[in-house]
Amino acid sequence: MSPTDPPQTVRVGGRDVRLTHLDRVLYPSTGTTKAEAVDYVVRVAPALLRQLEGRPVTRIRFPEGVGGERFFEKNTPRGAPSWLRHQHLRAAPGTDDEGTELDLPFLDDVAGLVWVTNGGALELHTPQWRVGPRGGVRPPDRLVVDLDPGAPAGLAECSRVAHLVADRLREDGLTTAVPVTSGSKGMQLYAPLPGRRSAMEVRQYARDLAHELAAAHPDLVVAVMRKEVRAGRVLLDWSQNHPAKTTITPYSLRGRERPAVAAPRWWDEVGPDLAQLTPAEVLRRLESDGDPFDAA
């Protein structure tokens, strides 16, 4: 299918999905095409859909590939298929959209994944809370700690800090945190939350944890955003637990120069040799080793 070919409609899980320009190169450095991106999301769908379940999806779209224009998209776009589930929700306080009503989409099935990927939505970002079947926003069901290294620090330093964070979480009974290499520079830790805590309570807990570890390990950890203090250290970005914030969804592609994935990892590989993973590597690992979130 060349760029001048007409669109085609395919059946995916009983739904009609319109596909266009499947040979468009999305990652020029590797020649990776839209067809290959669609193939990845179809094959990773069982694991990816579990992460997306019940969470509205903010997309970062790259219609012409990662070398072209990119833009964020929160609302359900015009022309979305009639079968796509979407929900009107009030924007969270403290955001640019505060006081407005958003029309937020959900990706419930393989057809939804194929549809957004065809539209150039490589990155899928989600909040730490879910929406119930009747449209009610639930309290956050997970804590996320974002580990963002300041050059020349990298994944090796993030690995050291990840173990420090996990040890601290275990002291508070959060024993099943899953590390995720971000597909960019750093990584995240996701910890399922028991009980019902408000988003602001979770945010405050994450803030306190970050500042505690920064005080205990000042040469390695920082808990503030200021660039002048971040060089060679790892920022624990606790703000990602604010109800208005989203993080890259585990198993999502990233819109970087080379194709990479926000990839869940096993703790025994989180060390000095940790590296970001490609889509092909993620698929092989899922087939051979399973999903680290299944053990959480």
Instruction: Say if residues 274 and 181 touch (Cβ distance below 8 Å).
Output: yes
Under-70 pLDDT residues of the chain: 1-5, 92-99
Angle at 50 between CA 49 and CA 55, to 5 degrees: 80
Architecture of domain 142-295: 2-Layer Sandwich (3.30)
Per-residue DSSP letter, 241:
G
pLDDT of res. 94: 58
43: DSSP letter: H
Burial bucket for residue 143 (CB in 10 Å: 0-12, 13-18, 19+): buried
Residue 92's Cβ-side half-sphere holds a number of Cα atoms within 13 Å equal to 17
Task: For residue 168, give every residue at least 6 positions away whose Cβ sits within 8 Å of its Cβ, in sequence order, or none.
Answer: 209, 212, 213
8-126 CATH pick, 3.90.920.10, 1.20.1530.20, 1.20.120.1200, 3.60.15.10 = 3.90.920.10
* Per-residue model confidence (pLDDT) at position 78: 92
Predicted pLDDT of residue 1: 43
Report the pLDDT value the prediction gives residue 227, as an integer from 0 to 100.
82
What pTM value is reported for the model? 0.94
**CB-CB contact of 113 with 19 (8 Å):** no
CATH 3.90.920.10 boundaries in the chain: 8-126
pLDDT of residue 134: 85
What's the confidence (pLDDT) of residue 100? 81
Question: How would you classify the pairing of strands 221-222 and 234-237?
Answer: parallel
Rounded-to-integer distance, Cα 131 and Cα 134, Å: 8
| Residue extent(s) of CATH 3.30.70.3300 domains in the chain | 142-295
